[in-house]
Chains A and B, each alone.
Chain A
Amino acid sequence: DQQVKQNSPSLSVQEGRISILNCDYTNSMFDYFLWYKKYPAEGPTFLISISSIKDKNEDGRFTVFLNKSAKHLSLHIVPSQPGDSAVYFCASNGGATNKLIFGTGTLLAVQP
């Protein structure tokens, strides 16, 4: 079973606060995870990634945490800005393939 799940279809956060987007995966063989951001009428844009040998990766306001035992990862955005409003997709390479498996996405709305 190769699935990546994002159980929250939407999230609303005040500007300046932390946004936490969650993602679960089903297969413990998955070893590389990515977060993409997507604006309407545009393609997904890479944000940040993490390999299964790490449990945290940080890039500016964006931090991804990986909990392998729970098969869970999360994206933290702090401080959130109105320009962060977009759909965020979690994805994995599926462990041994060169394709990405995407979650269904979470629509983040950052309120000014």
Chain B
Amino acid sequence: EPEVTQTPSHQVTQMGQEVILRCVPISNHLYFYWYRQILGQKVEFLVSFYNNEISEKSEIFDDQFSVERPDGSNFTLKIRSTKLEDSAMYFCASSPDLNEKLFFGSGTQLSVL
């Protein structure tokens, strides 16, 4: 069964550094998402992406965050200057269409020191 793949599985970085989290969505899917889960809290929506542009973003997704689909297969989340509170599990997801179920990757555990 096709799956969403995320790399790396763990990322440790110093506060203030830039990080890029990478995802390969399922190939025929059209909608792409990033979510995150801070330890002990709920899974939170960050951003959705369709037709090469952001379709919706949450309050969390401020100017420090950006997303890109550089080559038609990868979908990346960049955090320009990481903060301690960015430490979380980041999940990429994709869906074939609007209002369809989302398929999630295994996540990248980001630790900001």
Question: Taking the complex as formed, is B45 at the interface, i.e. its CB lies under 8 A from any CB of chain A?
Answer: yes
Which residues, 20 to 75 on A, are CB-close (under 8 Å) to B?
32, 34, 36, 41-46, 49
Contact of A44 among B43, B45, B98 (CB under 8 A): B43
Q: Once the chains are docked, how many angstroms separate the CA of A110 from the CA of B84?
A: 36
Main secondary structure of the interface of A (DSSP, over half): loop
Question: Taking the complex as formed, is A100 at the interface, i.e. its CB lies under 8 A from any CB of chain B?
Answer: yes
B43 A102 Cβ-Cβ under 8 A: yes
Interface size on A, residues (CB 8 A): 22
Q: Once the chains are docked, how many angstroms separate the CA of A4 from the CA of B102?
A: 17
Q: Once the chains are docked, how many angstroms separate the CA of A91 from the CA of B44?
A: 11
User: What's the interface size class on B, roughly?
Assistant: 20 to 34
Q: How many A-B residue pairs have CB under 8 A?
A: 53
Binary interface encoding of chain B residues 11-50 relative to chain A, with 1 for a CB under 8 A from any of its CBs, else 0 = 0000000000000000000010101000001111100101
B99 A32 Cβ-Cβ under 8 A: yes
Question: Taking the complex as formed, is A77 at the interface, i.e. its CB lies under 8 A from any CB of chain B?
Answer: no
Binary interface encoding of chain B residues 70-113 relative to chain A, with 1 for a CB under 8 A from any of its CBs, else 0 = 00000000000000000000010100001101111111000000
Residues of A within 8 A of B42 (CB): 89, 102-105
* Minimum CB–CB distance for B23 against chain A, Å: 11
Chain B contacts to A: CB under 8 angstroms: 4, 6, 31, 33, 35, 41-45, 48, 50, 55-56, 58, 91, 93, 98-99, 101-107
